Amino acid sequence: MLRSEQKPFEEILGYLEGENMVFILGCDGCAQASQTGGLPQVLEMKGRLEREGKKITGYKVVDFLCQKALVASALRPLEDRVMESDSVLVLCCGVGIQTSAAMILKPVHPGCNTINLGGSRGEWRGSERCMECGDCLLDYTGGICPLAACSKGLRNGACGGASNGRCEVSPEKPCGWELIYARLKETGRLDMLKKFVPPKAWNKMRPTPEMLSTSVWALEQGDGSIQEGIE
Amino acid sequence: MISSFKKALESGKFVVTSEVAPPKGTNLEKMPHHIELLKDKVDAMNVTDHQSSVMRFPSLGGALLVKEMGGEPILQMTCRDRNRLALQADLLFAASRGINNVLCLTGDSVILGDHKEAKGVFDLDSSQLLAAIRRLEKGKDLGGNDLDGSVSFCAGAIVTPEADPIEPQLIKFEKKIEAGAEFIQTQAVYDLDNFKQFMDYAKQFPVKILAGIILLTSAPMARFMNKNVAGVNVPQELIDEMASAPKGRALDKGIEIAGRMIKRIKKEKMCDGVHIMAIGREELVPDILSAAGLI
């Protein structure tokens, strides 16, 4: 899941300067869970923009804005309203905003900022974080990722800035390397701390072109029908 | 080329280093004054690198100034602001100008400084920077390419003898030595009995250790450090001693305490020397040296 928060209303109004006819898109997935782009937020945004003198040509909350096929099928019946608009305001994460922009030949404005979860991945998310670095260090570090757990992402031990087990960036944050130390000690593997970890190959953190494709990549590569979008 | 600082370390004498901080801006009046005052009284001067993540005149420029004025600079380099290309390039430049002593540091978090929105780099960490220096000396850069022209450095690192827990700190200390640290300047130490315990462990390694001495300027300053500076522990007796100083004489008391500590470290041969950090009061370093009986 991606977490988002709505942008300040003034910033959104700035994007819409000189545009009077606005279509609003929301998302019933992550943005609904984040309470930033579900139906209540879309309706609230509609009211606020109308009070600012904007004409809302229509709105739609799509199940998953990140899914191009769903975007296309949801918007096709509303095509006239979308196309008479000056622009589309999207209340969703960065993925949904980009999907909408790819599918709609109109200016698309982001209504939300997507919050970095520091590598929260997987179907069932707890406190563990994976930064998808492409070169796993977890053997050295007792199964706690130093890139995610240390605020500096250090690879060879603590920086010395922690006090009482808390990171120098915030008393709320535990020192990742103290967690790693405790785990290695508990499991009798403190010798791992002595190993020199060489400079990291950050280029492995860049996704390959096929990794940049979506789960419906195969469909997208197919007959192109779902790519037609709204024009 | 062997630096005079390295020669001093190898001579077996009691080595003294201090530091100078580059200014916030281009007004270089104060720094040359400090350099002039200290260059013949200490074996080398550290030039701090955007200390506490506050943007300043660069340490490389400051080290060059020390060199030009006939002093012996120790270039402090943190991994916070430069990636491996920039760090290596700066090392090449330093070597070309006869700046051959480097202190390798991780660097404070960006958020503690005055450019909170900046991107912290940390492409390398302090151990990796030490290893990079040793690699440059072998004629290769981190990309594995040959270098035209050689470099030679006296490379050092820091350790926090009062760290809690101490065990991972000692492991990292060992790792830094293996990565290439020839000298260590410690975080400030105040409890010399604790420091002796640390030295009992540290003595077994082939590295020169300079005990960190931070000048106490007042009792509240000592309490502030205890509360806010990681790895610094000023014992209550010293805070009481600072508080007992007559009004307006706290600084004299701080100088007396620093001098007394240095004297004891030297007399008991605890380690190879001291690194004096006067933090903005560099003009007082000669007084500390005098109180310690070193000049």
DSSP symbols for B69-106 = TT--EEEEEESSS--HHHHHHHHHHHHHTT--EEEEE-
Helices (H), A132-193: 146-149, 176-186
Of the candidate ranges A48-52, A90-94, A204-208, B30-34, the one whose mean pLDDT is the lowest: A204-208
CA distance B124 to chain A (A): 6
Q: How many pairs of residues across A and B have Cβ atoms under 8 Å apart?
A: 86
A134 burial via Cβ count (<10 Å: 0-12, 13-18, 19+): middle
Chain B residues with CB under 8 Å of A198 CB are 128, 131
- Across the strands, what pairs with B146? B140
Are B230 and A160 a contacting pair at CB < 8 A?
A: yes
**Torsion angles phi and psi, residue B79, rounded to 5:** -95, 5
Judged against a pLDDT cut of 90, whether residue A126 lies above it is answered with no
Residue pointed to by tokens 């450095």: B153
Among B107, B120, B128, the residue with its CB nearest the CB of A156 is B128
Chain A residues with CB under 8 Å of B181 CB are none
Among A158, A194, A199, the residue with its CB nearest the CB of B124 is A199
Tell me what the pLDDT averaged over chain A comes to: 89
Among A156, A161, A193, the residue with its CB nearest the CB of B109 is A161
Among A153, A181, A200, the residue with its CB nearest the CB of B168 is A181
Cβ of residue A7 closer than 8 Å to a chain B Cβ: no
Are A199 and B84 a contacting pair at CB < 8 A?
A: yes
Question: Tell me: the pLDDT tens digits for A13-41?
Answer: 999 999 999 999 999 999 999 999 999 99
Q: pLDDT value at position A224?
A: 47
- The residue ranking higher by pLDDT, A103 or B14, is B14
In our burial notation (b when 16+ CB lie closer than 10 A, e otherwise), range B173-198 reads bbbbbebbbbbbbbbbbbbbeebbeb
Q: Where are the beta strands (DSSP E) in A160-215?
A: none
Q: Look at residues B116, B115, B200 and name the one whose alpha carbon lies nearest to residue B161.
A: B200
Question: Tell me: the pLDDT tens digits for B179-232?
Answer: 999 999 999 999 999 999 999 999 999 999 999 999 999 999 999 999 999 999
Are A169 and B165 a contacting pair at CB < 8 A?
A: no
Q: What number is the ipTM of this complex?
A: 0.92
Q: pLDDT value at position A131?
A: 86
Question: pLDDT band for position A216 (50/70/90)?
Answer: low
Rounded to an integer, the average pLDDT of B271-282 is 95
Residue pointed to by tokens 């006296």: B154
Are B109 and A202 a contacting pair at CB < 8 A?
A: no
Question: Tell me: the pLDDT tens digits for B72-122?
Answer: 999 999 999 999 999 999 999 999 999 999 999 999 999 999 999 999 999
- The residue ranking higher by pLDDT, B95 or A210, is B95
Share of chain B above pLDDT 70, in %: 100
Question: Tell me: the pLDDT tens digits for B222-237?
Answer: 999 999 999 999 999 9
Among A156, A177, A190, the residue with its CB nearest the CB of B175 is A156
- The residue ranking higher by pLDDT, B165 or A213, is B165
Judged against a pLDDT cut of 70, whether residue A122 lies above it is answered with no
Cβ of residue A163 closer than 8 Å to a chain B Cβ: yes
Cβ of residue A162 closer than 8 Å to a chain B Cβ: yes
Of the candidate ranges A124-133, A136-145, B66-75, B274-283, the one whose mean pLDDT is the lowest: A124-133
Are B172 and A156 a contacting pair at CB < 8 A?
A: yes
Residue A174: asked if its preceding bond is cis (omega within 30°), the reply is no
Q: pLDDT value at position B123?
A: 98
> For residue A91, what are its two tokens?
């209340």
DSSP per residue, B150-212: ----EEEEEE-TT-SS-HHHHHHHHHHHHHT--EEEEEE---HHHHHHHHHHHTTSS-EEEEE
Are A157 and B175 a contacting pair at CB < 8 A?
A: yes
Rg (CA), chain B: 18
Residue in chain B nearest A193 by alpha carbon: B171
Are A163 and B230 a contacting pair at CB < 8 A?
A: yes
Question: pLDDT band for position A225 (50/70/90)?
Answer: very low
Are A181 and B165 a contacting pair at CB < 8 A?
A: yes
CA B129 – CA B140 distance, rounded (Å): 14
Are A193 and B172 a contacting pair at CB < 8 A?
A: yes
Domains of chain A, by residue range, sit at 1-133, 140-201
Q: pLDDT value at position A206?
A: 84
Q: pLDDT value at position A227?
A: 46
Which homologous superfamily does the CATH classification assign to the domain defined by A1-133?
Answer: Diphthamide synthesis DPH1/DPH2 domain 3 (3.40.50.11860)
Cβ of residue A152 closer than 8 Å to a chain B Cβ: yes
- The residue ranking higher by pLDDT, A220 or A137, is A137
Chain B residues with CB under 8 Å of A193 CB are 168, 171-172, 175
Judged against a pLDDT cut of 90, whether residue B279 lies above it is answered with no
Are A196 and B163 a contacting pair at CB < 8 A?
A: no
Question: pLDDT band for position A226 (50/70/90)?
Answer: very low
Q: pLDDT value at position A34?
A: 92
Q: Return contacts of A163-168, CB within 8 angstroms, 24+ apart.
A: A163/B230, A163/B231, A164/B164, A168/B108, A168/B109, A168/B112, A168/B230
Rounded to an integer, the average pLDDT of A114-138 is 78
Q: pLDDT value at position B159?
A: 97
Are A199 and B123 a contacting pair at CB < 8 A?
A: yes
Q: pLDDT value at position A220?
A: 60
Residue A100 in contact with residue A72, Cβ under 8 Å? no
Judged against a pLDDT cut of 70, whether residue B280 lies above it is answered with yes
Question: pLDDT band for position B70 (50/70/90)?
Answer: very high
Are B131 and A155 a contacting pair at CB < 8 A?
A: no
Cβ of residue A192 closer than 8 Å to a chain B Cβ: no
- Secondary structure of residue B17 in the 3-state scheme: strand
Rounded to an integer, the average pLDDT of B241-269 is 97
Cβ of residue A205 closer than 8 Å to a chain B Cβ: no
In our burial notation (b when 16+ CB lie closer than 10 A, e otherwise), range A81-99 reads bbeebbbbbbbbbebbbbb
Judged against a pLDDT cut of 90, whether residue A101 lies above it is answered with no
